[in-house]
Amino acid sequence: MISRSDTVRALLEYIERVEGLLVVGNGFLSREAMRLGQMGSILPLQGGMGLASSVGAGLVTGGQKNVVILEGDGNHLMGYSSPHVIGGLGLPILHVVSWNGVYNSTGGQKILNLQPDVNYVAKSFGYEESFEFKSISSFKEWLDSTKVVVPTLVYICEIEDQTTPERIEINSAVYATAYRERLTGGENL
DSSP 58-124: HHHHTT--SEEEEEEHHHHHHTTTTHHHHHHHT---EEEEEE-SEEGGGT-EEPSSPPPPHHHHHHH
Mean of per-residue pLDDT scores for the chain: 85
Mean pLDDT of 124-136: 96
- What local confidence, expressed as pLDDT, does residue 115 receive? 65
Mean pLDDT of 137-159: 93
Which of the two residues, 43 and 95, has the higher pLDDT score?
A: 95
- Identify the DSSP state of 128: S
- What local confidence, expressed as pLDDT, does residue 63 receive? 93
Mean pLDDT of 48-63: 93
Residues 6+ apart with CB under 8 A from 70: 7, 8, 11, 22, 23, 24, 25, 29, 33, 52, 96, 98
Which of 24-38, 62-76, 163-177 bottoms out in mean pLDDT, i.e. has the lowest? 163-177
Domains in the chain and their CATH numbers? 4-184 (3.40.50.970)
- What local confidence, expressed as pLDDT, does residue 32 receive? 86
Q: How many residues does the chain have?
A: 189
pLDDT in tens, 9-30: 999 999 999 999 999 997 778 8
Cα angle at 12 between 11 and 18, to 5 degrees? 85
